[in-house]
Amino acid sequence: MSPVLDTAFIAPRDREEVVRHAVWESVVAVDIDHRPPAEDLSVRIGLGTVGPLRICSARATAVTIRRTERLAREDEEPAVFLGLQVTGTSLVAQNGRECVLGPGEFAVYESIAPYTLLFDEGVDHHFLRFPRAALALPDRLLRDTSSVILGPDNPIAPLAFTYFSQLAGSDELHQGVHADAVVEPSVELLRAVLTCQYGNSSLAKRPLEATLSLRITQYIRAHLADPGLSAARIAAAHGISVRHLYAVLSGSGISLGDWIRTHRLAECRRELAGPNGRRRTIAAIGRRWGFVDATHFSKVFKQAYGLSPRAWRDQNHPRSCA
């Protein structure tokens, strides 16, 4: 991953604040205690995203990172962090436990509880942030597997370390269709590592089923613009039959066709009223969100909102008089 922040190009007096801002904005809010004085401080950070996953690859001089009780309480989107040690050693402490990571080892820790990361020898580390909800694992399992070395004793861990290291370092996998293709395997691989570490992989099944409706709707939201989105494709993406798909959604009070149409119309409405609402034709905006037939798009839009797409756009972007 190419560095997006390098303190070599930042005035010494500004380095600590620039690093803190980058980490808080892109990764997580933490207290950062750099060991060297500002003029000797060196940090190179590469940042990336893969769907809902966030990646930070860092090389830096010695530092201590603390997620305090106050910051953990203020967490708006609970997350699970995966920390991979590339070279040297580091210490991870959370939930009354601590572990020292060596090269090729990794550990997880949660954003909703305080933790400390010690990099006495400097930093050569990949940090991957997963939405906690995406893992769909029990609270106790996550607590019991935090700040535990995930290494050679876990048969899945070496495979996972290689995979996540390559994911962190590959710019090509952080964009477009490539990113979409690796999100679910990444979540499933980390889930497999943690359930294996816990000693009972069957624990993953119940939360997976319990969150299936949520994961389906998240998938649909991510693919709303695809005119090829269909029940068969959605079902295949989640390893279930079309019949089971409809049953799961029905249990949540969701009609698949109505849900997709409603959310596509909402995106069209937002785009038509947005600052670029006149830069594209109404038909083009409809096609962008899966409405191939312009006449049909205009009809269902008016049925939903009480006025045509053109009237809605004109209401939000009045034409100036000559």
Residue with tokens 């649909």: 220
Q: For residue 5, list its beta bridge partners.
A: 45
Are 125 and 85 in contact by the 8 Å Cβ rule? The answer is yes
Per-residue pLDDT tens digits of the chain, which is 322 residues long? 566 899 999 999 999 999 999 999 989 999 999 999 999 999 999 998 888 899 999 999 999 999 999 999 887 789 999 999 999 999 999 999 999 999 999 999 999 999 999 999 999 999 999 998 888 788 888 999 999 999 778 888 888 899 899 889 877 666 666 667 788 888 888 988 898 888 765 655 555 565 677 678 878 888 888 888 999 999 988 888 999 999 988 887 889 999 999 999 999 999 998 888 888 899 999 999 989 899 999 999 999 999 999 999 988 887 654 4
Q: Phi, psi at residue 289, to the nearest 5°?
A: -110, 30
Question: How far is residue 218's CA from residue 137's CA, in Å, rounded to a whole number?
Answer: 17
Question: How far is residue 109's CA from residue 311's CA, in Å, rounded to a whole number?
Answer: 51
21 Ramachandran zone, left/alpha/beta (phi>0; psi -120 to 50)? alpha
Are 150 and 107 in contact by the 8 Å Cβ rule? The answer is yes
Question: How far is residue 191's CA from residue 197's CA, in Å, rounded to a whole number?
Answer: 10
Q: Of 79, 37, 34, which is closest to residue 56 (Cα–Cα)?
A: 79
